[in-house]
Structure 1
Amino acid sequence: MMGLERLVLNLKTKVLKALKPKKLYDKVEKSESMRVEIRSKKARKLIEETLKIADSPKNKSYAF
């Protein structure tokens, strides 16, 4: 019975995927300013996580 259920599920997903409308837009190329913004967001997130760990009373931090 498991094989039949798997077959039905497989067919169902294939049919639903075939009925889904295709994307009608092209992928947008990232400009240099968009890349800079992404890098700065990642940097801010990394700094925030580092400060959160450093301020945590559970972790020992070493002064260099």
Structure 2
Amino acid sequence: MVSFVGADDMGSFEAYIEQGRCVVMQGGQKVTVTDSPGMFGGRTGFVFRGTKLWTLREGISYGQ
């Protein structure tokens, strides 16, 4: 999803959302990172309210 937005491909972004294969989360939510993307990885695993999810590295803001 982040790559669609980065490429300004809103048609693909909206089609992906409509497939129901993703969850759009409000920013600022507290999650537990379970799988770090590492130096060259692109995927990050995290747990939110007991559910294991995945996102691209850019989908998570580390800090605070």
Question: Smaller-chain TM-score range?
Answer: under 0.3
Please report the TM-score for the alignment, with normalisation by the length of structure 2.
Answer: 0.20
Greater relative contact order structure (CA < 8 Å, 6+ sep): 2
Higher share of residues assigned helix: 1
